[in-house]
Amino acid sequence: MRAAEDSGALIVSVDLPSGVDADTGQVPGDAVRADATVTFGTYKPGLLVDPAREYAGAVRLVDIGLGGELGAYEPELEALQYADVQRLLPVPGAESDKYRRGVVGVVAGSARYPGAAVLCVAGALRGGAGAVRYVGPAADAVIARFPEALVSDGPPAKAGRVQAWVAGPGLGDDAGRLRDVVDADVPVLIDADGLRLVDRDAVRARTAPTLLTPHAGEAAALLGVSRGEVEAGRLDAVRELAARYGATVLLKGSTTVVAEARGGGAVRVNPTGTSWLATAGSGDVLSGLAGSLLAAGLGARDAGAVGAFLHGLAGRLAAEGAPVGAQDVADAVPLAWRDVGA
Ligand SMILES: NC(=O)C1=CN([C@@H]2O[C@H](COP(=O)(O)OP(=O)(O)OC[C@H]3O[C@@H](n4cnc5c(N)ncnc54)[C@H](OP(=O)(O)O)[C@@H]3O)[C@@H](O)[C@H]2O)[C@@H](O)CC1
Ligand SMILES: Nc1ncnc2c1ncn2[C@@H]1O[C@H](COP(=O)(O)OP(=O)(O)O)[C@@H](O)[C@H]1O
């Protein structure tokens, strides 16, 4: 392996780079860093999930006629394509009104982090819900940027009806508001500080869908392992969290993966991300966006996967190879939506 790398020659891997784990995306020891990989029949998890994905370089799939055979197996991993996402986008019908489109509630922000509330609402306004209710102490900041948001600063239960809640970005230690949301009988997305505050048994006891959206550091804290362990084994980590919390889990990062509640079924891997998304607040935009898709009627796994797909695409369209901020990503979500819907 070292001789090949030291030679400076172009390296093309056949099927998978030597040393990466085909089934998990893990890289247990030395592995070849290829410039390109030609793979056969179907993509393997090791070609789609970091850290292994990075070793494959540009990947080309060659059809070797396995179509019929592959259909007999349940995949362990799925990557939504444009046509899949297009089918799932919630488009208002001729007879829709703002309530029929779904209302999303956002419980986010604090005196310390008012910006997280603004960014979460920015995402929520672009996710297909007909209205966004913001509840919390950053109402002035939210309304200054988005007069279309419906704001209040009392308990979430008194804010008016919603079809889904998003709770956590920049929330600080406001456990009371979080508890109200977890107790509500509608789909709930929990992110950031909400993940630190939430009670696992309360999540497990919920009957409406729950979507947890940790980054690797938050997932590590929930699992009681190191951040490095989560990043080295994303598929194991996301399945384990989904099983422990009885919730759908979207694990963010260089590869974003979504596991179904209780860890069953195929894990969705997002194909659209870009490392330009590694900027403060872009996760807050994602949680608003995915929560809005929940309110518009998507199931938790679809809301997570479609949200990540649009968010990744928005990041690419906003960045075009240059640094961008989280607001730019939110502003580009309609471009991503049009790109998928076209
Ligand atoms: N605009 C807004 O209002 C925004 C508000 N936001 C809100 O902020 C809150 C906290 O969320 P978060 O994800 O940033 O923190 P968290 O999971 O605790 O991880 C902290 C880890 O990072 C590390 N670390 C820190 N600095 C570092 C450095 N320079 N270089 C390297 N490492 C560094 C630090 O390491 P340590 O200092 O402990 O060694 C620790 O491990 C949350 O409410 C979120 O919603 C964000 O969404 C952003 C936009
Ligand atoms: N290297 C990367 N490649 C692709 N996407 C990334 C990368 N790093 C971060 N992201 C994405 O950027 C967002 C960051 O969210 P998060 O970690 O919650 O930050 P914040 O709390 O500042 O909003 C997530 O959607 C994550 O998937």
pLDDT in tens, 245-270: 999 999 999 999 999 987 678 999 99
> Which residue is closest in CA terms to ligand 1's atom 11?
192
Q: Please work out whether the CB of residue 286 comes within 6 Å of at least one atom of ligand 2.
A: yes
C-alpha to C-alpha distance for 61 and 16, rounded to whole angstroms:
11
Q: Please work out whether the CB of residue 316 comes within 6 Å of at least one atom of ligand 2.
A: no
Ligand 2 atom at minimum distance from 286 CA: 25
pLDDT in tens, 264-316: 789 999 999 999 999 999 999 999 999 999 999 999 999 999 999 999 999 99
- What are the DSSP calls for 96-151, one per residue? --TTTT-EEEEE---SS-HHHHHHHHHHHTTTT-SEEEEESTTHHHHHHH-TTSEE
- What are the DSSP calls for 235-275, one per residue? HHHHHHHHHHHTSEEEE-SSS-EEE-GGG-SPEEE-S---G
Distance 197 CA to ligand 1 centre (A): 16
Nearest ligand to the CA of 141 is: 1
Q: Please work out whether the CB of residue 170 comes within 6 Å of at least one atom of ligand 1.
A: yes
The structural domains of the chain, ordered by start, are 2-73 (no CATH), 82-341 (3.40.1190.20)
Rounded to two decimals, the ipTM of the complex is 0.92
Q: What is the CA radius of gyration of the chain?
A: 20
CA 60 to chain centre: 25
- At residue 2, the pLDDT reads 84
Q: Which of 296, 309, 321, 285 is nearest to 103 (CA)?
A: 296
Distance 15 CA to ligand 1 centre (A): 38
